[in-house]
Amino acid sequence: MPTRKLKDFLFDNRVAHQVIPHPQAFTATSVAGAAHIPGKEMAKTVVVDLDGRRALAVVPANRKVDLERLRQATGALTAELADERDFIADFPGCEPGAMPPFGNLYGMPVYVEPHLAADEQIAFNAGTHTEVVRMAYEDFARLIHPKLVDM
């Protein structure tokens, strides 16, 4: 089941979505395959530190975050991957590495790669390594107000 926080948020905002169970998988590309979702629709949520402040960088499953491009696009002086040990407590109810890209639920800005925004649907980890949530990208953008950043 998606995390209570995510489930309640989607319900409270009356967002149509689908929860897709899948065999346990840990990488974004293996999750996409296990859930039978095109890799271009599967979002990978990466926790980054921009000038020491946490943010979420969201890219297609088959892409890596280009930290230098992210740094330049956000005007940050530094951009680095956050250490999971340092941020896991920031995502209560989520399994490590399965955070949904809803930074607003965790007090973090969200930066999305434009390729994800070009698709009608977006899919992402539901807080577990065995479920994915799929919804309209338009609804995701309306709820999250992400900044589009070519990274």
Q: How far is CA 37 from CA 19, 30, 61, 102, 146, in A?
A: 12, 10, 10, 20, 22
**Residue numbers of the domain that contains 24:** 4-148
Percent of the chain with pLDDT over 70: 99
Give yes or no for residue 44 having a pLDDT over 90: yes
Tokens, residue 90? 């920031």
Strands 79-81 and 43-50: antiparallel
3-state SS class at 87: helix
For residue 77, what pLDDT is reported?
98
How distant is the alpha carbon of residue 126 from its chain centre?
9
Q: What is the pLDDT of residues 71-95, one digit of tens each?
A: 999 999 999 999 999 999 999 999 9
Q: Could you tell me the maximum CA-CA distance found in the chain, to the nearest angstrom?
A: 40
Q: What is the pLDDT of residues 129-148, one digit of tens each?
A: 999 999 999 999 999 999 99
Whichever domain contains 18, its CATH number is 3.90.960.10
For residue 109, what pLDDT is reported?
98
Contacts of 34 (CB under 8 A, 6+ apart): 22, 23, 24, 25
Give yes or no for residue 39 having a pLDDT over 90: no
Q: What is the pLDDT of residues 4-20, one digit of tens each?
A: 899 999 999 999 999 99
3-state SS class at 23: coil
- Number of structural domains (the chain) is 1
